[in-house]
Structure 1
Amino acid sequence: MSRTELKQTPPEPSPDEPGEPGEPGRRLHRAWVIAASAGAAIVTAGAFTTVPGLLVTPLHEQYAWDRGQIALAASVNMVFFGLTAPFAAALMDRVGIRRVVTGALLLVAAGALLTSAMTAAWQLTLYWGVLIGLGSGCLTMTFAATITSRWFERRRGLVTGGLSASSHLGQLLFLPLLAWSVERFDWRPPVVTLALAALAVAGLVWLLLRDHPADVGLRPYGGEKFVPKPAPVPGAATRTVRVLLDAARTGPFWLLAGMFVICGASTNGIMWSNWIPAAHDHGMHATVAASMLSLIGVFSALGTILSGWLTDRFDPRRLLAGYFAARALTLIALPMMFASTARPSMLAFVILYGLVDVATVPPVIALSRRRFGADGPIVFGWASAAHQLGAGASAFLGATARDLFGSYDVVWNALGTTCVIAALLALVVRTPGTEEPATRTASRD
């Protein structure tokens, strides 16, 4: 009998084996350890996403590079971040989650260390844009979708929301400290610190993360039976492209991708690389602006977890429409809220915008899974690629608009208007299971 067959044979039941959640005497299911390990990797990758916004002013002052040149690196990063995601999902099916995630963290660390030694703008684009974009692109919500689909039968929406929130938890943990460090010690020490953090988390992931419940002889959390580990799927790149071609023949894919283009443009695309320069235009101190962005991350985490809980119970389409409508209102009102200090109106923006910032992810993952089944994580990866294309365009065009018009006001108004369009698109998506919310199923959770 082969080693693969041995792994797929259900083990004999053990009285102290973690089984159904909530049974007396059962210890914590290993799935939660896996989710925590995945969350640590996503947190680390999330910390890198906001750094370009902190580097704009110091790099402009030190090297006299145009803001557009610096924003180009952030834009390239976002594009590679998005394009990598669907291929990473298929690669995880081929070589395993643990190997892909560990390799991604090592690539991110290498990109950061090389950035600390750069001397030219093209090097920033190569190191931060390409290398870190490729590494962090493996640690997106596609990764979260893969973890939840393999390790969880119940609480999928909640876990998806928690992992989606993890990227913004990276902002909460690192951004204010990084902003303070950039002002006090220059921009290189924070970049090196992030590289060392990525190396440490890579070691943690290698020790704790496992590819499938069958690897440790368990059922998925909430599962009624043992699930054999599927054989490695050859031709990861071919499969990824095939899934795209099949999905592209359907209307729901284009609606989901279109919504996510707008989503990326109106969230990380504009915020991660342009928020701090925009606040600086109104006299706000960089540390205060970074703290506001960090608070957005706090409320994004809360909003995404809540969205995951709601997605288990209500129609994902209506949730998406509500999220985009709320985002449109906040962005259109933002120019009136900027000031040199954090006024109550700005705090109101931070709370409301933050709550709907990443809340779109759990409903889109749910719709992808319902419509495309086992290919759902890869389809969501392609939707995420569209998200990052919108983000990359927004990062570059936002900075360019600032150079042309001397203000970001036109950018906020344009993005708010496109969010209204996204809200309308959400209401016309049709997939199996969207006509009736999964309230009965969720109530058993």
Structure 2
Amino acid sequence: MSSTALPERSNRKPRFHYGWIIVLLTFATLLVSAGIRSLPSVLLVPFQDEFGWSRGSISGVISIGIFLYGLVGPFSAAMLLKFGTRKVVASALSILAVSLAVTPLITSLWQFELLWGIVSGLATGMMANVLGVTVSNLWFVKRKGLVVGLLTASAATGQLLFLPAMAKVSADYGWRTAVYAAVAGIALVLIAVAIWMRNHPYDVNAAPYGTDEIVKPAAFTGNLFLAPLQSLRLASKSLAFWLLAGTFFFCGFSTNGLIGTHLIAACGDHGMLEVAAAGLLAMMGLFDLFGTTISGWLSDRFDNRWLLFWYYGLRGLSLLFLPYALDTTPAMLVVFSVFYGLDWIATVPPTAKLAGQTFGQEKSGMIFGWIVVAHQIGASTAAYGAGVMRDWFGTYSQAFVLAGFVCFIASLMALRIRRAAAGKVAAAA
């Protein structure tokens, strides 16, 4: 976002940069959002048992939510610039809380589709990875890769905190109690955002971290709905965009759409209790917290294309190992959880960094939002497709193996991204 330099309003520098408080609030927001988006994996089997809906039908609703979660991203980036982080996040959290509070009253599949496929998908999409990228661009000049890594890791931490707790509450007290507990978590974060969130460093008389120049943000002048579409038109002329979007499609296909949605159910097919299976996802979240944070640090220092090559390749190997792990001992599932967890969403920091290098910081938020759309289309495809394949074959093994091989394709695609085009594309922007 372009800015107009103004004289410093104070010569006094704070000892602690307020940007880190914004990072903490954004971390908590993304943590809760990710936890809510992962909640359907806990509810899949209880809904099947109580309402008699097929696993494919429930997966279809989850698929719609995942798709809308991604689709709203580019428009969320524009709204964050126009209305400010505080208003947008507070509004999204409020809508999400209302949606969840009504969920225990549902009796029909269409109601589940409305609340979780549409409303929840749109609300959580306003707090997707685009929020983390926007915050890092506005508040930081240095340490951007590290900040994006930390905020991306919040999705993993959301699973770490939410899934075992929600699975335990659901098993002991019923899924409705678990949903109400999630509403309470949203309310706490909403209060914190309303009190402490700020839109820009200028609001607290500070310069972005890594610089001494206090600047006033320029007003958002583009059309709220046309600006993201114009950014997509610009990006679509670049091969780098299609390679980034293509690799991110396979990223979503092999992570939250497949493992995040179906691992608990797949473990249940092999006799593992729901709480124990949720613990495996939580373990992945713990290791991804380290893996994605380290990935952000690495993205500031190494060629991001080669980072993506290794991330996708290693993820593919772990997914090919998963059917074997399910058929053997729980110890093998622990090995899978550790290995896969380190790589869960480590691809986000280098992808965001490449988008920023290629399209410039002003456009990168909305363009990265479109790259996330590709991610969520992949996730949506896997969420629905794996459920249908489970209904057809009685097992998830084919879906896991397919995802492993597409990761190898993504690994090779990453090496074709040419940074040499960055200057030309950024100049066109």
TM range (shorter): over 0.9
Contact 1:285 1:340 in 2 (8 A): no
Match of 1:369 among 356, 363, 367: 356
2:125 is aligned to: 137
Q: Which amino acid aligns with 1:171?
A: Q
1:14 is aligned to: 11
1:250 is aligned to: 238
The alignment status of 1:43 with 2:31, answered yes or no, reads yes
Deviation at 1:209, TM superposition (A): 1.1
Paired residues, number: 420
Q: Which stretch shows the higher mean deviation, 242-251 or 218-227?
A: 218-227
2:181 is aligned to: 193
Deviation at 1:206, TM superposition (A): 1.5
Deviations 1:224-245, CA, capped at 9 Å, x for gaps? 3222211133411110000001
CA–CA separation in structure 2 for the residues paired with 1:421 and 1:234: 37
1:418 is aligned to: 406
The alignment status of 1:209 with 2:192, answered yes or no, reads no
Contact 1:282 1:340 in 2 (8 A): no
Contact 1:10 1:228 in 2 (8 A): no
1:153 is aligned to: 141
Contact 2:358 2:422 in 1 (8 A): no
C-alpha root-mean-square deviation of aligned residues, in Å?
1.6
CA–CA separation in structure 1 for the residues paired with 2:24 and 2:236: 34
1:21 is aligned to: none
2:292 is aligned to: 304
TM-score w.r.t. length of structure 2: 0.95
Q: Which amino acid aligns with 1:356?
A: D
Identity across matched positions, percent: 36
Contact 2:359 2:422 in 1 (8 A): no
Contact 2:305 2:415 in 1 (8 A): yes
The alignment status of 1:283 with 2:280, answered yes or no, reads no
CA–CA separation in structure 1 for the residues paired with 2:370 and 2:86: 21
Gap runs ≥5 in structure 1: 19-26, 436-445
Q: Which amino acid aligns with 1:225?
A: E
TM-score w.r.t. length of structure 1: 0.92
CA–CA separation in structure 1 for the residues paired with 2:237 and 2:151: 30
2:17 is aligned to: 29
CA–CA separation in structure 2 for the residues paired with 1:50 and 1:35: 22
Q: Which amino acid aligns with 1:249?
A: K
Please identify runs of 4+ aligned residues in structure 1 that moved more than 6 A. none
Equivalent runs, 1:32-431 vs 2, <5 Å: 32-339=20-327, 342-343=330-331, 345-373=332-360, 374-431=362-419
CA–CA separation in structure 2 for the residues paired with 1:381 and 1:405: 35
Contact 1:332 1:413 in 2 (8 A): yes
CA–CA separation in structure 2 for the residues paired with 1:10 and 1:434: 32
Q: Which amino acid aligns with 2:282?
A: S
Contact 2:5 2:213 in 1 (8 A): no
Deviation at 1:279, TM superposition (A): 0.5
Deviation at 1:314, TM superposition (A): 0.1
2:427 is aligned to: none
Deviation at 1:140, TM superposition (A): 1.1
Q: Which amino acid aligns with 1:364?
A: T
Deviation at 1:223, TM superposition (A): 1.2
> Structure 1 residues 334, 434: CA separation in 2 closer, same or farther (over 3 Å shift)?
farther
CA–CA separation in structure 1 for the residues paired with 2:46 and 2:335: 29
CA–CA separation in structure 1 for the residues paired with 2:352 and 2:23: 17
CA–CA separation in structure 2 for the residues paired with 1:286 and 1:241: 42
CA–CA separation in structure 1 for the residues paired with 2:275 and 2:327: 14
CA–CA separation in structure 1 for the residues paired with 2:312 and 2:281: 19
Deviations 1:77-100, CA, capped at 9 Å, x for gaps? 100100011100011111111111
Deviation at 1:276, TM superposition (A): 0.7
Deviation at 1:210, TM superposition (A): 0.8
